[in-house]
């Protein structure tokens, strides 16, 4: 069982269809780290609240805007040029590593906020994914893929 958010996120992201679903949700404006945190909280059956939801958004939003997105934007801007320039390709890979480091730090910070939130015995009626996904994505297939991956992750753990 993945207990910390980073390892949970890595495991969930590796499940079939999840990476593509996350990229589609990101294209719709979703903060993927926030969604992975939501999936982790749903998996742990932590009871959501408006206050907790706002705490997560207040931490995540600025970090995404000021740290992760500028790195991602630069990496994406260099994609075409890097195919013909090996030195730029090497720099682009370093930027990609920094982007991943920034996302890991974001997940660690999100986990820090959740440190005192107790796990539940059963899933609450209100989903963290529903609270933290952009409204435009609530009925999107990609969000359903993410939800299904969380459920199958839970079933795999329960079956151990």
Q: Which residue has the tokens 């952009």?
A: 134
Q: How far is CA 32 from CA 37, 51, 82, 116, in A?
A: 8, 20, 25, 23
* Cα–Cα dist 9/38, whole Å: 10
Q: Which residues, including other chains, have CB under 8 Å from residue 88's CB and lie 6 or more apart?
A: 78, 81, 82
Per domain, the residue ranges of the chain are 5-159
**According to the model, what pLDDT value does residue 159 have?**
47
Average pLDDT across each block of 10 residues of the chain; the chain has 160 residues. List them in order. 83 94 92 96 94 97 97 96 96 97 98 93 83 86 90 58
* Cα–Cα dist 139/88, whole Å: 39
**According to the model, what pLDDT value does residue 1 have?**
43
- What is the per-residue DSSP string for 84-138? T-HHHHHHHHHHHHHHHHHHHHHHHHHHHHTTTPPPPSS--SS-HHHHHS-GGGT
**According to the model, what pLDDT value does residue 122 have?**
83
- On whether the CB atoms of residues 6 and 108 are closer than 8 A, the answer is yes
**According to the model, what pLDDT value does residue 18 have?**
96
**According to the model, what pLDDT value does residue 152 have?**
80
């Amino acid at each position: 069982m993945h207990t910390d958010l980073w390892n949970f996120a890595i495991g969930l992201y590796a499940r079939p269809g999840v990476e593509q679903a996350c990229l589609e949700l990101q294209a719709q404006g979703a903060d993927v780290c926030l969604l992975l945190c939501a999936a982790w909280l749903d998996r742990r059956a932590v009871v959501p609240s408006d206050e907790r939801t706002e705490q997560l958004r207040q931490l995540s939003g600025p970090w995404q805007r000021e740290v992760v997105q500028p790195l991602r934007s630069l990496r994406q801007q260099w994609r075409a040029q890097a195919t013909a320039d090996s030195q730029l390709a090497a720099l682009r890979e370093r930027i990609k590593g920094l982007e991943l480091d920034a996302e890991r730090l974001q997940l660690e910070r999100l986990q820090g906020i959740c440190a005192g939130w107790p796990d539940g015995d059963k899933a609450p009626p209100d989903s963290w994914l529903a609270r933290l996904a952009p409204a435009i994505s609530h009925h999107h297939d990609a969000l359903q893929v993410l939800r299904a991956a969380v459920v199958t992750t839970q079933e795999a753990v329960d079956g151990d």
